[in-house]
Amino acid sequence: MADQMRYWRCPLCGACYRVDEIVYVCRCDRAGRLELVVELTAAAAVPDGEKTLWRYASLLPLDSAGPGAEAVRAGFPAGWTPLVPASELAARLGAAGLHIKDEAANPTGSLKDRASALVVAGALELGCRVVAAASTGNAAVALAAVARVVGMPCVVFVPARARPAQVRRLIGYGAHVVVVDGDYDTAVRLNLEACDAFGWYCRTTAVNPFTTQGKKTAGLEIAEQHRGGDPDVVVASVGDGNILVGLYQGLRDAVRAGWIGRMPRLVGVQARGASAVYRAWAAGLDEVPDAPAVSVAGGIAVGVPLDGARAVAAVRATGGAMRTVTDEEILGIGAELAALGGVTAEPSSAAAFAALPALDLRGRRVVVVNTGGAPEAPEAADGEPEPLPEPITPDLVAVRAALAAAAEVPTAVLPAHRRPGRLPGVSGT
């Protein structure tokens, strides 16, 4: 790669920080989400290295030779997923070409592996003892899997509606699962409070800037892997908005590095019953108001999208669009997708494919991101399965009680100077 400078920048106030100076969000009153700025002094050569996300280390906030990256790389080879041609689907849509970026090929089967790999590597380099997240599925599974590889305790907050099979999968990866009596957004708030109080390292999407940086490597790979001209359109499902933001930043870096000649249009797709980001985009808003979130696609059913504003901005910056699809369309596309594209998509990812017939893709080169494959059913255990954790009230007293038997997970309040950093929306931080 060319020589370069790397630093964090707040897009709201313009403040800049060294990559090792700040942990979560900007110190300004608006707690701006940090973006990594990479200043190249010359066009960057396309990487020629290992086939994982770490091939792009010079465009990331962590060096591949650092202790955190080395520990994660050794046992969790996330990234460099295939770009699968889908010629029959392209012909049906009249597209000049269509490829599927198949993130199901990651270690736990989703794009979230990229984010969690960077988060855990960062946690190790910060000297953090515990990582934590709130999630209904893939993000938590990815975090638990990486944490197990490096031997770090992992706490996951899930809403009471989380599927039992997914909770058991988390427990199987060694996570300490806290079932919260409330919805997804309640679990997110409790996770933020617990991380702030106990000094755990918080993986929460968008709040932790490494999540975006991990996901942007999918955009870098699309730019590097796409052959036959630059892609015209990239389509992806949207929940909290962070994947779309990551794709945008990766493709933008690829343009700046000279790997592709121009930015493709970004199209974000939401479930109609969980369409907060779409509503803001359609109404011409810069911020994303809360909205109802009910859909069979649980992974994108987010009522309070933490990265919604940046997702809307990314769509507009590329001249792209947002679309919605019904639950019926999501469920109906699965079998057809497997037959046409040779990939398996979970409902949250299938939403992107369900939107394709309504888009004008004639003559365009299209990439659709399969953010996650259908998870494998857990193997049946002999006898009765272990009982699942009982839901707790959403407060820190209940969290301490739920984790009382987990000696490796400290729940004593740490002094401020020993906490990883400022978390937005938590009093006292």
Within 10 angstroms of residue 38's Cβ, the number of other Cβ atoms is 19
75: nearest Cα among 121, 109, 17: 121
Residue range 53-108+212-370 forms a domain whose CATH class is alpha beta
Confidence of residue 380 (pLDDT cuts 50, 70, 90): very low
pLDDT at 41: 62
Give yes or no for residue 358 having a pLDDT over 60: yes
Structure tokens at 111: 């794009």
- Residue 201's H or E segment, with its range, is strand 201-202
Q: Tell me, yes or no, if the two domains 53-108+212-370 and 112-207+386-418 fold the same way.
A: yes
- DSSP letters of 115-134? HHHHHHHHHHHHT-S-EEEE
110: nearest Cα among 295, 403, 350, 375: 375
Apex 393 CA angle, 388 and 397, nearest 5: 105
CB burial string 102-111: b at 16+ within 10 A, e below: bbbbbbbbbb
Distance (Å, whole) CA 364 – CA 376: 34
Q: What amino acid occupies position 378?
A: P
Q: What is the pTM of this model?
A: 0.93
pLDDT tens, 91-135?
Answer: 999 999 999 999 999 999 999 999 999 999 999 999 999 999 998
Average pLDDT of the chain, as a whole number: 90
CATH no., domain 112-207+386-418: 3.40.50.1100
- Range in 76-80, 234-238, 356-360, 417-421 the model is least confident about: 417-421
- Residue 179's H or E segment, with its range, is strand 176-180
- DSSP letters of 345-392? --HHHHHHHHTGGGS--TT-EEEEEE-BPPPPPPPPPSSSPPPPPPPB
In this prediction, residues 27-43 reach a mean pLDDT of 86
pLDDT at 420: 80
Structure tokens at 318: 């590329």
Give yes or no for residue 194 having a pLDDT over 80: yes
- DSSP letters of 303-314? SS-TTHHHHHHH
Domain extents in the chain: 53-108+212-370, 112-207+386-418
**In the chain, pLDDT over 70 holds for what percent of residues?**
92
In this prediction, residues 168-179 reach a mean pLDDT of 94
pLDDT at 375: 63
Phi and psi angles of residue 344, each rounded to the nearest 5 degrees, phi first: -115, 130
Provide the greatest CA pair distance for the chain: 63
Give yes or no for residue 277 having a pLDDT over 90: yes
pLDDT tens, 197-236?
Answer: 999 999 988 899 999 999 999 999 999 999 778 999 999 9
Confidence of residue 244 (pLDDT cuts 50, 70, 90): very high
Distance (Å, whole) CA 297 – CA 161: 13
Strand order in the sheet with 265-271: 83-85, 97-102, 365-370, 233-237, 265-271, 321-325
